[in-house]
Amino acid sequence: MISNIKFRKLLNDLKRRPEDAAKDLNITKKEILKFLNNKKEISHKILNQATKVWPVNHGDFFSFSDDTQNGFKIMRSDKSNKSKRIMIRGKKPYYLYKDTVMSKVSPFKPELITELVVVENDNPNNPKVKFNNGHFLHQFTYFIGPVNFYYLKNNKKKIARMNTGDSMYISPYVPHSFTTRKNKKNELGKILALTYSDQIDNETLNELNVLGFDIANKYRIDLTNENRAFWGNLDIFFNNSSISLDEFKKKTNIDLNKLRKKKNVPNLNTLKKISNFLNIGLRDLLPPKEKIEVKIQKYSQNRNWYFPSNKKKDYLFVELTNIPQLPYSRGYEFHILSNHKINRTLEVPSHQYIYNIGHTNVQAIINKKKIKIYPGDSLYIKPNLKHYFNQKGKLLILRLGGRISGDRLYQLSMLSKQNLFKTIDDIKPWFNK
């Protein structure tokens, strides 16, 4: 939707008064004022003119819409069932896909997938197994039943035998596939394939797109081990300041070239001196120590704990697979242990995706609104909302940081309360109710 408030923000950013904008867009000041006061809708013709004369993109004029109510959105299992579609691979039915809850507000694209191909062995080269080409989104997977998970590692096909409660993470573009193992009950395996974007989201893709591959590729730091990652990351900051390591040595008496040749990562004391010298944060000098393409976690490896405490066992958290490179992405099997009216409130700084994987109905209270979550229902909850759960049951929870995490979270925190209010008010969509 073209937003008059976004239009106002653009004029502010471009330092254009209404009369200046009128001149640039070949319209009257009166018309500009009508747009700004939401008395008239901005036409696509004017929008096109604006993108011609100003360094702005079409997307800069549009605002997000919110498809949640009271801070959450639920998808009932019957609606999920209606979305079913069968994916054919090698001319045979391969997967049965069902949507689960998705919101315009959150980075999740989660599916419930039934594996329709039954295999008799665990051979990763089984001709029945059809690999995909991998995909752009990160994938966290929760397994239900006897599922074989296949993936490509160093160009070799691998397999992992998965069962209920096991989980895995795969990074973008790792080719993979799933089948059901033959079993006495003739049960078909299922997965909750929760795909999502993280820091490389659509906005970032837009920037990468216009920079092009050759320029984008030069950014890449070699993350194959801690030593390469450290020095590759440090080069970015020294290059950005156009300071050589020799100059650094002259000014600090620290010989980083020597350390680099020895393939050492400097100790904390030296790291502090480097960060002081460059005037950057210490954390900026600590990139990820490795790349993770596939992580598999069996149920027995999962850590677990009671919440809020061992004495008050209202909930049991079973921690599913996660990786340090995605510090806000956390998956849990979440058990509600009490049928009593508990009031153990949760408030988490992340977008939450919830699926009732149990056999009992659960009650959620979000923002004081009660909602029943039946088996097979899925729920999205906005960050930082008070909520709690009643009635014994078992849920799958995936938490994601979304855009307001990491450096963006720190920059948001540097705004005063008033300025945060102003920031949001400046871009708020006119149709906000």
Chain residues that interact with Fe ion, rule: CB under 5 A:
139
Closer residue to Fe ion (CB): 139 or 321: 139
Q: How far is the CB of 132 from Fe ion (least distance, A)?
A: 7
- For the bound state, the minimum distance from the C-beta of residue 308 to Fe ion, rounded and expressed in Å, comes to 35
Instruction: Provide, rounded to whole angstroms, the least separation between the CB of residue 252 and Fe ion.
Output: 48
Beta carbon nearer to Fe ion, 191 or 381: 191
Q: How far is the CB of 346 from Fe ion (least distance, A)?
A: 29
Task: Give the residue with the Cβ less far from Fe ion, 168 or 381.
Answer: 168
- The nearest distance, CB 82 to Fe ion, in angstroms, is 22
Please give, one letter per residue, the 3-state secondary structure of the chain: CECHHHHHHHHHHCCCCHHHHHHHHCCCHHHHHHHHCCCCCCCHHHHHHHHHHCCCCHHHHECCCCCCECCEEEECHHHHHHCCEEEEECCEEEEEEEECCCCCCCCEEEEEEEECCEECCCCCCCCCCCCCCCCCCEEEEEEECCEEEEEEECCEEEEEEECCCCEEEECCCCCEEEEEECCCCCCCCEEEEEEECCCCCHHHHHHHHHHCHHHHHHHCCCCCCHHHHHHHHHHHHHHHHCCCHHHHHHHHCCCHHHHHHCCCCCCHHHHHHHHHHHCCCHHHHCCCCCCCCEEEECHHHCCEEEEECCCCEEEEEEECCCCCCCCCCEEEEEEECCCCCCCCCECCCCEEEEEECCCCCEEEEECCEEEEECCCCEEEECCCCCEEEECCEEEEEEEECCCCCCHHHHHHHCCCHHHHHHHHHHCCCCCCC
Number of Cβ within a 10 Å radius of residue 378? 28
User: CA-to-CA distance for 348 and 343, rounded, in angstroms?
Assistant: 16
Nearer to Fe ion, 169 or 315 (CB): 169
CB of 293 to Fe ion, least distance (A): 13
Beta bridge partners of 362: 373
Q: Which is nearer to Fe ion, 139 or 302 (CB)?
A: 139
Long-range contacts of 201-210 (CB under 8 A, 24+ apart): 201/107, 201/403, 206/57, 206/59
Minimum distance from residue 134 beta carbon to Fe ion (Å): 8
Tokens of residue 62, six digits: 């549009």
Q: How far apart are CA 108 and CA 70, in angstroms?
A: 19
Q: Least CB distance from residue 135 to Fe ion, whole Å? A: 6
Nearer of residues 173 and 431 to Fe ion, judged by Cβ: 173
Nearer Cβ to Fe ion (169/334): 169
Residue nearest to Fe ion (CB): 139
Least spacing, CB of residue 193 vs Fe ion, in Å? 5
Q: Which of 116/234 has CB closer to Fe ion?
A: 116
CB of 87 to Fe ion, least distance (A): 11
Nearer of residues 11 and 170 to Fe ion, judged by Cβ = 170
Cβ nearer to Fe ion, comparing 100 with 139? 139
